A and B are shown apart, each in its own frame.
Chain A
Amino acid sequence: MKKSLQKKHGPIDGYLFVLPVVFMMVALIAYPMLYGLYISFFNTNLVSRWNFVGLKYYIEAFQDPEFYQSVLLTFKYMILVVAGHFIVGFFLALQLNKQFKGRTAYRVVFMLPWFFPEAVIALLFTWILNPMYGVFNDILMKVGLISTNISWLGSKDLAFSSVVFVSIWKGFPLVMTMILAGLQTIPRDLYEAAEIDGVGRFAQLWYITIPSLKSIIKTLLILDCVWWFKQYTLVYTMTSGGPGTATNLISLSVYGTAFNDLRFGKGAAWGVLVFVICVLLSTVFKRVIKDED
């Protein structure tokens, strides 16, 4: 079909249509990216100082415990958050796919966190978890679970767990909605046939539902991992990476290096490394999931 159009109107029309996007990709994405790579070879404040240092920042990054710790922490954060998204999202999608009264209302409620800005959610939970006047401490006290106020964002272990919880709270609706959309494409007769053959609920889930959703799960897993690996706003607003380095995710490290320490070269180099990690992540996922086919 496409050939017939092709013959009458050469590729020139095609090029014209994609020209604006190609221009944007080249001028506003590829060029800045290469420029970032260029900056990463310099010790620079972007204004007066431009000292060429070659691969120094890349080599240093691999010896710098701060970089390692930050990357490891980010992986730990990403794994917990994405696992949380999938557990909650999958569970809710399965529930909301059933017929029951008030289903639409529940769906809307469970989508809410998705539509609030990350900054607003972060501020809201900072307030709720406030050690002095926060409502969370008050509720726990009233129920009798704690006897003194807890500083949720002020102590190392709790700050990390709190940030993970809020990230799961914010991010699960996307996974839920996508899986729900996927569930609705699975033909009902598959389940009816399984029912007749006496296949149990969990077997149905394992042999029908999950395989049918494979491509959705794959795409979601890759996107979700990459998105939350890059996470900045939520964590920055809640803890600024603290206390100490307890929630200092890699994005926060990079940002701080560039815009607080004004070490733009080093920041750019670390930024490139984050990109490489993201690409590796998605490649690994694609490979792993493909091999099972």
Chain B
Amino acid sequence: MKIKTERYIGRTVTYVVLTALALVILVPILWMISTSFKTEAATYNPHPTWIPDPPSLMAYDKFFNTYSFGKMLMNSCVTCIATVIICVLCSSLAGYGITRFRFHGKKALMQFLLVTQMFPAVMMVVPFYAILSKVGLTNNLVGLIVVYSATNVAFSTWMLVSYFKSIPIELDEAARVDGASSFRIFWNIILPLVIPGIVAVAIYVLFHGWNEYMYSSVIISTDDLKTITVGIISLNSQNQIKWNDLMAASAFSSLPLVVLFICLQKYFVEGMTGGAVKG
């Protein structure tokens, strides 16, 4: 009887504590959504209400029509998709090479890939900017794609190495006996087996590209090439901040991806634990 009551109390305490903490997470996010449906006047109420009154879609309308956020969303999409493709291709090739062959400098390469994780963006931002302006790639999405690929490919490779390691090498050997070339074995046989790893890498790179601010703010200078993150933050530095517009922009540019990440979180976690933890 006593044990039962204790267990009951324990469970209740768990629920209460977890719910309280969950509210600390949810309330700000709900506030973002609530604000985004308000009129500008309603954001100047010193005693703000939770339910927008009157509810308004103005802020979302302005997202596309007043500000050029639609264009910025496109810029972010183009940059991120190109970066994901480059990173997935390069890191899966390297992941296969590292796990299947022995060659000089392999250990050094792996070490270097790991050390790049220590590189602070602020150390790289000045030289990247200097080099890109030399070759005329500043204020150009190509320049941004180059930088994002360079800064993400190392960790992508680390993640994929652990996936390739889990595929038995006997598969390669069997195919080799049949006379297939290394590249064919990689492309036709092994690559399809590491698709979960590739999904993990793609999400990781997409996530980082979408969130990146510093490089983008330095490399891109004109409004029509800005990425969404930079675009939103630049609204914040205006004199009169329209918080309903800002929250609508924030919600619109992040919620679809958040939902996607939540759906794919299995891969996210697998990728991180595979690459970062076992690594």
The closest CB in chain B to the CB of A30 belongs to B112
In residues 98-144 of chain B, which contact A (Cβ within 8 Å)? 98, 100-104, 106, 109, 112-113, 115-131, 133
**Whole-angstrom distance between the alpha carbons of A195 and B68 in the complex?**
62
Cβ of B100 and Cβ of A272 under 8 Å apart? no
Please report the total number of B residues contacting A with Cβ < 8 Å.
98
Which residues of A lie under 8 Å from residue B109 when comparing CB positions?
Answer: 18, 21-22, 25
B199 at the interface (CB under 8 A from A): no
Q: A2-B102, A117-B211, A178-B276 are in contact. Are A111 and B94 (CB under 8 A)?
A: no
Secondary structure of the B contact surface, majority rule: helix
Cβ of B214 and Cβ of A232 under 8 Å apart? yes
Which residue in A28, A109, A229 is a CB contact (below 8 Å) of B146? A28
**Whole-angstrom distance between the alpha carbons of A205 and B38 in the complex?**
48
A62 at the interface (CB under 8 A from B): no
A24 at the interface (CB under 8 A from B): yes
Cβ of B22 and Cβ of A274 under 8 Å apart? no
Q: A46-B130, A251-B121 are in contact. Are A95 and B210 (CB under 8 A)?
A: no
In residues 64-90 of chain B, which contact A (Cβ within 8 Å)? 89-90
Q: B1-29 interface mask toward A, CB cutoff 8 Å, 1 = contact, 0 = none? A: 00000000001001101100110111011
Secondary structure of the A contact surface, majority rule: helix
B168 to A: closest C-beta gap in Å: 9
Cβ of B243 and Cβ of A133 under 8 Å apart? yes
The closest CB in chain B to the CB of A252 belongs to B122
A13 to B: closest C-beta gap in Å: 4
A282 at the interface (CB under 8 A from B): yes
B39 at the interface (CB under 8 A from A): no
A216 at the interface (CB under 8 A from B): yes
Which residues of B lie under 8 Å from residue A110 when comparing CB positions?
Answer: 21-22, 25
Cβ of A271 and Cβ of B246 under 8 Å apart? no
Which residues of B lie under 8 Å from residue A271 when comparing CB positions?
Answer: 120, 122-126
B178 to A: closest C-beta gap in Å: 13
B58 at the interface (CB under 8 A from A): no
Which residues of B lie under 8 Å from residue A267 when comparing CB positions?
Answer: 122, 126
**Whole-angstrom distance between the alpha carbons of A230 and B124 in the complex?**
12
Which residues of B lie under 8 Å from residue A135 when comparing CB positions?
Answer: 31, 48
Q: A29-B150, A127-B247, A255-B125 are in contact. Are A21 and B232 (CB under 8 A)?
A: no
Cβ of B277 and Cβ of A272 under 8 Å apart? no
**Whole-angstrom distance between the alpha carbons of A138 and B31 in the complex?**
13
Contacts A/B (CB < 8 Å), 8 sampled: A4-B173, A14-B97, A16-B182, A36-B123, A119-B229, A123-B236, A264-B126, A274-B122
- On A, residues with C-beta under 8 Å from B are 1-6, 8-9, 11, 13-22, 24-25, 28-33, 35-36, 39, 46, 88, 92, 95, 98, 100, 106, 108-120, 123-128, 130, 132-133, 135, 138, 169, 174, 177-178, 181-182, 215-216, 219-220, 223, 226, 229-230, 232-233, 236-237, 250-251, 254-255, 258-259, 264, 267-268, 270-272, 274-275, 278-279, 282
* 8 A-B pairs with the lowest CB-CB distances in the bound complex, closest first: A17-B97, A14-B101, A271-B123, A28-B150, A36-B127, A21-B94, A11-B103, A32-B127
| Extra contacts besides A250-B122, A255-B125 (17): CB < 8 Å | A9-B101, A17-B182, A21-B91, A24-B153, A25-B112, A36-B124, A95-B18, A100-B15, A106-B22, A109-B26, A110-B21, A115-B261, A123-B232, A124-B29, A133-B43, A135-B31, A255-B122
